[in-house]
Amino acid sequence: MADPSLALQGVIYNRLKADCPSVAGRVYDRPPQAVAFPYIGLGESQTVDDSADCIDGVEIFLTLHAWSRVGGQVEVKTVASEIRSSLHEAELDLGPAWHFHLIEHRSTNVMNDPDGVTAHAVVTLRALIDAR
């Protein structure tokens, strides 16, 4: 059976490309070296067993990164807000192998990078999934 985090990653990738107009489709698993800003990067994930007697479930924590080089934090906060609006409590279809229960926004952390130019938002999500 495939990894449920891969199924979730694929759905999130496609959804963000469609739902986040500020990045104009610039959503990357691994950004290119000459990337245009702003963009979203798929970040870290952690899969935690959430099984019960008759359920093969997992809890997945995901981190998404938004990046901007327009002065200040307005643009990166806008991208982070689009991520939240797209995914918080969304109904996602992970295909026939997985039963999707929920995805929820857990936190957004916005900071200025030490380069003095780049603003960065870290968006954390939590999802519950089990095998069909």
**Is the pTM for the entire model greater than 0.95?**
no
Euclidean distance between CA atoms 85 and 83, whole angstroms = 6
Given a cut of 90, is residue 2 above it in pLDDT? no
Q: Are 37 and 65 in contact (CB under 8 A)?
A: no
Domain 4-131 fold is STM4215-like (3.30.2000)
What is the average per-residue pLDDT within 73-102?
96
pLDDT for res 53: 65
Euclidean distance between CA atoms 83 and 109, whole angstroms = 13
What is the average per-residue pLDDT within 66-73?
94
Domain boundaries, the chain: 4-131
Residue (of 63, 65, 18, 24) closest to 41 by Cα position: 65
- Percentage of residues in the chain having pLDDT higher than 90: 88
